[in-house]
Amino acid sequence: MSVLAWIALGSCAVWAWLLLGQGLFWRTDQRLPHTPPEPGGRRPGGGWPSVAVVVPARDEAEVLPVSLPSLLAQDYPGRAEVVLVDDGSTDGTGDLARELSERCGGLPLSVVSPGPPEPGWTGKLWAVRYGIGVARARSGDDHGPATGRDAGAGPRTGTGTGPGRTPADFLLLTDADIAHEPDSLRRLVAAARAHELDLVSQMARLRVANIWERLIVPAFVYFFCQLYPFRWINRDGARTAAAAGGCVLLRAEAAERARIPDAIRDAVIDDVALARAVRRAGGRIWLGLAEHVDSVRPYPGLADLWRMVARSAYAQLRHSALLLAGTVAGLALVYLAPPVCLAAGVLTGDGVAAWAGGAAWAVMAGTYVPILRYYRQPLWPAPLLPVTALLYLLMTVDSAVRHHQGRGAAWKGRTYPRPQAAPER
Residues 266-317 pLDDT 10s: 998 999 999 999 999 999 999 999 999 999 999 999 999 999 999 889 988 9
In the chain, what is the greatest distance between 2 CA atoms, to the nearest angstrom?
Answer: 78
3-state secondary structure of 21: helix
Structure confidence at residue 33 (pLDDT): 81
Residues near 149 by beta carbon (within 8 Å), at least 6 away in sequence: 98, 101, 108, 109, 110, 111
β 285-295/199-205 pair status: parallel
Task: Please name the residues in contact with 362: beta carbons below 8 A apart, sequence gap of 6 or more.
Answer: none
Residues 186-200 have pLDDT tens digits of 999 999 999 999 999
Q: According to DSSP H, which parts of 290-374 are helical?
A: 302-316, 321-331, 337-348, 351-374
Question: In the prediction, which pLDDT does 412 show?
Answer: 63
Q: Give the best-scoring range by mean pLDDT among 45-54, 129-138, 249-258.
A: 249-258
SS3 251: strand
pLDDT at 137: 80
Amino acid at 249: L
Decide which of 223 and 38 is more confident. 223
CA angle (187 as vertex; 185, 188 as ends), nearest 5 = 65
d(CA 71, CA 58): 17
Mean pLDDT of 355-384: 98
For residues 264 and 273, is the Cβ–Cβ distance under 8 A?
Answer: yes
Confidence of residue 146 (pLDDT cuts 50, 70, 90): very low
Q: What is the DSSP letter of 332?
A: I
The band of 420, judged by pLDDT with boundaries at 50, 70 and 90, is low
CA distance 330 to 227: 13
What local confidence, expressed as pLDDT, does residue 416 receive? 57
pLDDT band at 34 (very low <50, low <70, confident <90, very high): confident
pLDDT on residue 346: 97
Q: What is the mean pLDDT of the chain?
A: 89
pLDDT at 167 over 70: no
Q: What is the mean pLDDT of residues 253-265?
A: 96
Q: How large is the average pLDDT for residues 227-233?
A: 97
Secondary structure class of 89 (helix, strand, coil): coil
When pLDDT is averaged across residues 28-50 and rounded to a whole number, the result is 70
pLDDT of residue 149: 39
Contact 107, 81 (CB under 8 A): yes
Q: In the structure, what pLDDT confidence band is assigned to residue 163 with cuts at 50, 70 and 90? A: very low
Q: Where are any strands of DSSP class E within 132-210? A: 170-174, 178-180, 199-205
Q: Where does residue 397 rank: exposed (0-12), middle (13-18), buried (19+ CB within 10 A)?
A: middle
Top-confidence residue, 172 or 414: 172
DSSP state of 207: -
- The H-or-E segment that residue 189 falls in is helix 184-194
Q: Distance (Å, rounded) from C-alpha 92 to C-alpha 89?
A: 7
- Look at residue 318 in the predicted model and tell me its pLDDT: 87
For the cut 60, the answer to whether the pLDDT of residue 422 exceeds it is no
User: In terms of C-beta density within 10 A (0-12 exposed, 13-18 middle, 19 or more buried), how is residue 67 classed?
Assistant: buried
- 228 in helix, strand or coil? coil
Q: Are 136 and 17 in contact (CB under 8 A)?
A: no
pLDDT at 332: 97
25: which residues sit within 8 A by CB, 6+ positions away?
Answer: 18, 225, 226, 229, 230, 231, 367
> Rounded mean pLDDT of 410-425?
53
Q: Do residues 404 and 247 lie in contact, with contact meaning Cβ atoms separated by under 8 Å?
A: no
Q: Return all residues near 309 (Cβ < 8 A) that are at least 6 apart.
A: 216, 220, 392, 395, 396, 399
Does 35 score more than 80 pLDDT? no
Cis preceding linkage at 117, omega within 30: no
Classify each residue of 143-181 as buried b or exposed e, where b means 16 or more C-beta atoms within 10 Å of its C-beta: eeebeeebeeebeebeebbeeeebbbbbbbbbbbbbbbb
Amino acid in the structure at residue 285: I
The better pLDDT of the pair 329, 155 is held by 329
pLDDT the model gives residue 237? 87
What pLDDT score was predicted for residue 46?
A: 54
CB 420 within 8 A of CB 265: no
